[in-house]
Amino acid sequence: MNPNYTEFKFPQIKAHPWTKVFKPRTPPEAIALCSRLLEYTPVSRLSPLEACAHAFFDELRQPNTRLPSGRELPPLFNFSPVELSIQPQLNSTLIPPHARAQTSPASHGTVSRFAYAFHFGPTAFVSV
């Protein structure tokens, strides 16, 4: 800040509600997720794994969820041991019971594309 203007008072601007930014049919869970991801204060923002565990993605954790085309979902729960060690309290949410039965320790050798992109950004897909 300019030392000659130390007494400047920044205007207080009221936040615009997310419900007015998104279309009226936007699910409340989507608005809540965006709100937490775009939180101004860094320590208040969701971590990548907290975002993956958010209620907005609960439908993806249901055993019978399919793509709109009717095909099965791609592997979403193949988190690496490193990923699972970051916030272990989220593991039971991140990997639903039906996927735990299908997931073996050997399949944890690769990083899930979902978590990898969330942590390192979309440009990180060079060779996973």
CB of 90 closer than 8 Å to CB of 50: yes
Residue 10 domain-assigned (yes or no): no
For residues 89-116, give the mean pLDDT. Answer: 72
Structurally, the chain folds into a number of domains equal to 1
**Which residue is it, tokens 């990997």?**
95
CB of 93 closer than 8 Å to CB of 87: no
Residue 115 domain-assigned (yes or no): yes
- CA distance readout (Å), 28 to 18, 32, 57, 69, 84: 10, 6, 12, 25, 28
Residue 12 domain-assigned (yes or no): no
Note down the domain range covering 93: 19-63+73-124
CB of 112 closer than 8 Å to CB of 80: yes
Residue 11 domain-assigned (yes or no): no
In percent, the amount of the chain with pLDDT more than 70 equals 78
Q: What are the backbone dihedrals phi and psi of residue 110, each rounded to the nearest 5 degrees, phi first?
A: -105, 150
Residue 7 domain-assigned (yes or no): no
Residue 116 domain-assigned (yes or no): yes
pLDDT tens-digit series, residues 19-34: 999 999 999 999 999 9
pLDDT tens-digit series, residues 40-60: 999 999 999 999 999 999 999
The residue with greater pLDDT, 4 or 117, is: 4
pLDDT band, very low/low/confident/very high, at 10 (cuts 50, 70, 90): confident
Residue 77 domain-assigned (yes or no): yes
Average pLDDT of the chain? 84
pLDDT tens-digit series, residues 60-78: 999 999 999 999 999 999 9
The residue with greater pLDDT, 8 or 41, is: 41
